[in-house]
């Protein structure tokens, strides 16, 4: 066999997906393309209604696109959905477990549906409950669980057969900071074990934290793609920012302009001088040295990189909206919202 | 094939587990028909004459109430599936590597099985208020088998309704509107002879009537409430009922399975 230079395998490929609802009146996806390299995490970042869920549902074989093409683990999701289902795990936007049953009942049931033997199903349920710190709540009906517990159980149910490829639709929406941290820990563990992950989120911080690669989507298409560093650079590079006493501002401005080689922005109110720089930490050191030589002690000095929030605003022209807590537990709230 | 049966049974088991976790559901789904037995027995029982010496109203009433109850099986099916869909469970099931008919088959089997409990309790309640089938144990058993099969076929109608409506509440209302008139425009509770001519014909061909008449036969009674004409269904209620059930299943099983495969959560 000939050696090829292509060293990466794409676990997920979507090409030009188009999906409309309500007989073409609502365009959810408008030629969306993305791919996920094996063993990596792709964060799909987008505001409400961007098409995240629709994308996930198509890739997880729950929905057929109007046009376009997609493969998961090399299998065509439209032609061979049954085979795709054997290699994926899915945890949807809203916890989809049987509320009247206990956590234990649910995991045993789903294990049986993955064709584990009765004893293997029980063993797996036990393991997962342990892994997700739900052992104590195992015998309680899900309806008594908190939002975070539900979410964890839902994720556990999608991990029964240790899928190679996992789709998580907004796994932390509606969780409190602690719940989110816990979920991130769990997801990190999965990724370390080599799971390929496609994760949607509205939280810029989350994409930054978990994803190797980020696809920003809006109105059903990918509007930017890259690592979080690349995206930040695309919006504009780093800025050198110095805050100093008022009487020093004049001198500080001179130093900043010398280091950056451009014009500095001065904000008298916050006593901040800033300018774009291209040399990174070198610029920072140089500025610090010059300030020291001039006998100026700045109140604060730093390199500020644009946050993903800045990226989002620059790319979409609007801020990513955050959702309200109640929406994850009650799908009806969402339906009301959508009707408007 | 084997896995598809065992997948279905897992779904059925889930439903039975639900009944154990929330026993109220089972309690209320048996109280209601028992209440009907008592109400009809004591409210109308005194004023409706069977016209046959030695046969009181309760003998005719029980088959009617049995059929009405199993006809309403589809309510549970429709509401249950609509709820599963609303909660996203159907989505999850559809993302699993299970046979495409397992979820709906499991569901109809479970709802059919629930009828065993309900019919047993009703039969006992009937016995307490004077119901005495005179046809022998085997025939009575056959009658109940007939009722279970009818419930099972009606459940498939429920699958289609449950997967088609937007919410569980709509499912409930839709079922009620469809089934309630059907059970009353029949020979279940009163003779059809008192109805306007057009309704009489409807009542005579109504599957509920043929089921009721068939059960009366199996429980050892003449079907005296449906003899307005010498039509084939009133002459051969058992055969006609079987034909109806086959037709219902032949139409609704493929439609329901297809609906399940193509459905998307709302
Ligand atoms: N079943 C449906 N019927 C009609 N329109 C729909 C349906 N599902 C989604 N849409 C529309 O398609 C678009 C994309 O929806 P999608 O659910 O994929 O967005 P999303 O990025 O997941 O949003 P969110 O962050 O709110 O979950 C939206 O405009 C939405 O209103
Ligand atoms: Mg979504």
Q: Is A27 in the pocket of ligand 1 (CB under 6 A)?
A: no
For A239, the 3-state DSSP assignment is strand
DSSP A265-294: EEETTTTEEEEE-SSTHHHHHHHHHHHHHT
* CB of B62 closer than 8 Å to CB of B36: no
**Helices and strands: H and E segment counts in chain B:** 12, 0
| Alpha-helical segments (H) within B44-191 | 57-71, 73-86, 89-94, 102-128, 137-164, 168-184
The shortest C-alpha distance from A102 to chain B (Å) reads 8
Q: Is A321 in the pocket of ligand 1 (CB under 6 A)?
A: no
d(CA A234, CA A238): 11
Please name the helix (run of DSSP H) or strand (run of DSSP E) that holds residue A37, with its range, or none. strand A26-37
Q: Which of A25, A49, A92 to mutate to test the pocket of ligand 1 (most atoms within 8 A of CB)?
A: A49
**Nearest Cα to A68, choosing from A33, A42, A23?**
A33
Tell me the longest C-alpha to C-alpha distance in chain A. 77
DSSP secondary structure code for residue A319 in this structure: P
Query: Nearest-5° angle of CA A146, CA A148, CA A152?
Result: 115
Output the pLDDT for position A317: 67
d(CA A287, CA A28): 49
Residue A142 Cα to ligand 1 midpoint, Å, equals 27
The residue of chain B nearest to residue A112, with distances taken between CA atoms, is B10
Query: What's the whole-number average pLDDT of chain B?
Result: 88
Averaged over successive runs of 10 residues, the pLDDT of chain A (340 residues) comes to 60 95 90 94 92 95 93 94 91 88 96 94 95 92 90 92 93 85 88 92 87 92 89 77 86 87 82 83 87 86 78 68 41 39
Strands of the sheet with A272-276, listed across from one edge: A265-267, A272-276, A239-243, A300-304
Strands of the sheet with A75-76, listed across from one edge: A26-37, A10-21, A67-72, A75-76
Q: Which of A101-105, A295-299, B71-75, B183-187 has the highest mean pLDDT?
A: A101-105
d(CA B212, CA B232): 15
pLDDT-above-90 percentage for chain B: 48
Residues of B with CB below 8 A from A109's CB?
Answer: 10, 13-14, 17
Report CB contact under 8 Å: A114, B97. yes
pLDDT band with cut points at 50, 70 and 90 for residue B30: confident
Distances (CA, A) of A32 to A59, A216, B25, B163, B229: 12, 11, 46, 29, 66
d(CA B221, CA B54): 12
- Neighbour count for residue A115 (Cβ, 10 Å): 17
Distances (CA, A) of B93 to A157, A164, A245, B114, B210: 11, 19, 64, 22, 37
d(CA B187, CA B200): 9
Output the pLDDT for position B119: 94
Output the pLDDT for position B199: 87
Question: Does the structure show a pLDDT above 80 at B197?
Answer: yes
Question: Does the structure show a pLDDT above 80 at B264?
Answer: no
Question: Does the structure show a pLDDT above 70 at B51?
Answer: no
Query: Nearest-5° angle of CA A311, CA A316, CA A318?
Result: 95
Length of chain A: 340
Tell which phi-psi region holds residue A269, choosing left (phi > 0), alpha (psi between -120 and 50) or beta: alpha
d(CA A180, CA B202): 62
Residue B116 Cα to ligand 2 midpoint, Å, equals 42
A60 touches chain B (CB under 8 A): yes
Report CB contact under 8 Å: A101, B95. no
Beta-bridge mates of residue B96: none
Which residue puts its alpha carbon closest to atom 25 of ligand 1? Answer: A48
pLDDT-above-70 percentage for chain B: 92
**Nearest Cα to A158, choosing from A39, A56, A244, A294?**
A56
Dump pLDDT digits (tens) for B133-180.
988 899 999 999 999 999 999 999 999 999 998 888 898 888 888 888
Dump pLDDT digits (tens) for A138-149.
999 999 998 888
Residue with tokens 């941290």: A181
Distances (CA, A) of A225 to A211, A264, B112: 12, 30, 53
d(CA A241, CA B12): 65
DSSP B119-131: HHHHHHHHHHTT-
Determine the average pLDDT of the residues in B186-202.
Answer: 84
Atom of ligand 1 nearest to the CA of A46: 21
Q: Which residues of A322-333 are buried (b: 16+ CB within 10 A; e: fewer)?
A: ebeeebbbebee
Report CB contact under 8 Å: B95, A62. yes
Cα of A85 vs its chain's centroid, Å: 22
User: Considering the entire predicted model, what is its pTM?
Assistant: 0.80
A110 touches chain B (CB under 8 A): yes
């Amino acid at each position: 066999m000939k050696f090829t230079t292509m060293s990466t395998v794409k676990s997920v490929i979507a090409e030009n997906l188009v999906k409309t609802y309500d007989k073409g009146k609502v365009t959810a996806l408008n030629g969306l393309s993305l791919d996920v390299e094996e063993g990596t995490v792709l964060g799909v970042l987008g505001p409400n209604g961007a098409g995240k869920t629709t994308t996930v549902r198509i890739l997880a074989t729950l929905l057929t696109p109007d046009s376009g093409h997609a493969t998961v683990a090399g299998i065509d999701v439209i032609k061979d959905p049954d085979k795709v289902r054997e290699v994926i795990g899915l945890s949807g936007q809203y916890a989809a477990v049987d509320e009247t049953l206990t956590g234990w009942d649910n995991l045993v049931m789903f294990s049986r549906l993955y064709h584990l033997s009765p004893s293997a199903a029980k063993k797996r349920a036990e393991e997962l409950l342990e892994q997700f710190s739900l052992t104590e709540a195992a015998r309680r009906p899900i309806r008594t669980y908190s939002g975070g517990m539900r979410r964890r159980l839902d994720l556990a149910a999608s991990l029964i057969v240790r899928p190679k490829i996992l789709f998580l639709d907004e796994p932390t929406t509606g969780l409190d900071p602690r719940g989110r941290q816990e979920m991130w820990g769990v997801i990190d563990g999965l990724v370390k074990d080599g799971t390929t992950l496609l994760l949607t989120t509205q939280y810029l911080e989350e994409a930054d934290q978990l994803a190797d690669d980020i696809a920003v989507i809006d109105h059903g298409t990918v509007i930017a793609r890259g690592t979080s560093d690349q995206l930040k650079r695309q919006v504009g590079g780093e800025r050198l920012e110095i805050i100093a006493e008022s009487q020093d501002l004049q001198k500080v401005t001179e130093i900043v302009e010398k280091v950056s080689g451009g014009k500095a922005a001065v904000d008298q109110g916050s006593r901040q001088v800033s300018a774009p720089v291209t040399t990174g930490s070198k610029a920072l050191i140089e500025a610090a040295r010059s300030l020291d030589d001039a006998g100026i002690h700045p109140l604060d000095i730093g390199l500020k990189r644009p946050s993903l929030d800045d990226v989002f605003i620059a790319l979409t022209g609007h801020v990513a909206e955050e959702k309200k807590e109640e929406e994850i537990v009650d799908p009806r709230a969402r339906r009301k919202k959508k009707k408007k | 094939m084997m896995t598809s049966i065992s997948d279905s049974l897992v779904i059925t088991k889930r439903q039975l587990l639900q009944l154990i976790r929330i026993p109220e559901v089972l309690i209320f789904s048996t109280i209601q028909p028992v209440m009907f037995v008592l109400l009809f027995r004591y409210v109308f029982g005194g004023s409706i004459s069977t016209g046959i010496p030695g046969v009181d109203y309760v003998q005719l009433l029980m088959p009617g109430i049995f059929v009405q109850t199993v006809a309403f099986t589809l309510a549970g099916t429709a509401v249950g599936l609509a709820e599963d869909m609303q909660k996203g469970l159907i989505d999850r099931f559809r993302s699993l590597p299970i046979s495409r008919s397992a979820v709906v088959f499991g569901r109809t089997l479970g709802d059919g099985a629930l009828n065993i409990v309900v019919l047993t309790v009703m039969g006992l309640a009937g016995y307490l208020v004077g119901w005495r089938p005179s046809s022998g144990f085997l025939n009575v058993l056959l009658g109940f088998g007939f009722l279970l099969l009818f419930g099972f076929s009606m459940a498939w109608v429920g699958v289609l309704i449950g997967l088609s409506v937007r919410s569980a509440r709509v499912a409930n209302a839709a079922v009620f509107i469809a089934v309630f008139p059907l059970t009353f425009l029949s020979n279940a509770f009163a003779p059809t002879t008192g109805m306007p001519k057009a309704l009489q014909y409807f009542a005579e061909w109504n599957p509920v009537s043929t089921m009721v008449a068939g059960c009366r036969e199996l429980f050892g009674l003449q079907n005296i409430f449906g003899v307005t004409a010498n039509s084939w269904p009133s002459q051969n209620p058992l055969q006609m009922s079987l034909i109806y059930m086959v037709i219902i299943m032949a139409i609704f099983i493929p439609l329901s399975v297809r609906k399940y495969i193509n459905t998307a959560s709302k």
